[in-house]
Amino acid sequence: MHEYSIVQALLNQCEEIAHENEATKIVKVVTKIGAMSGVETHLLQTAFDTFKEGTLCDSAEFVINYQKIKLQCNVCQKEFEVDEASYQCVQCGSSDVKVIDGEDMYLMSLEME
């Protein structure tokens, strides 16, 4: 499960940010996970709950915001979202589209004390 290594990196990043801001505790961790990121959200939650113990995130709430696949048609410029990889414009039917969101995972915010 690569979710474990993702959580280890996330916890390290949270700790670095907390130390830079002289925080002693992280209360909330908010992430955005794209549908095409390859990250299983339930496994990520389990990994976070497992590895947060003994870190500044020990009692932190972990929020996962799911990002659908956001596409833009290169023909008519329409932007639209889909749940699955369906590369056809909902307006003009063209398959000449580009992905503009939903491929990555981001740390969006931290609440610290």
Residues spanned by the domain of 22: 2-112
pTM for the predicted model, two decimal places: 0.87
The amino acid sitting at 72 is Q
Contact present, 96 and 78 (Cβ < 8 Å): no
pLDDT, residue 1, reads 56
pLDDT, one tens digit for every residue, the chain (113 residues) = 589 999 999 999 999 999 999 999 999 999 999 999 999 999 999 999 999 999 999 999 999 999 999 999 999 999 999 988 778 999 999 999 999 999 999 999 999 99
Total count of domains within the chain: 1
Beta bridge partners of 28: 61, 111
Give the long-range contacts of residues 89-92, CB within 8 A, separation 24 or more. Answer: none
pLDDT, residue 43, reads 95
pLDDT, residue 84, reads 81
CATH number at residue 64: 3.30.2320.80
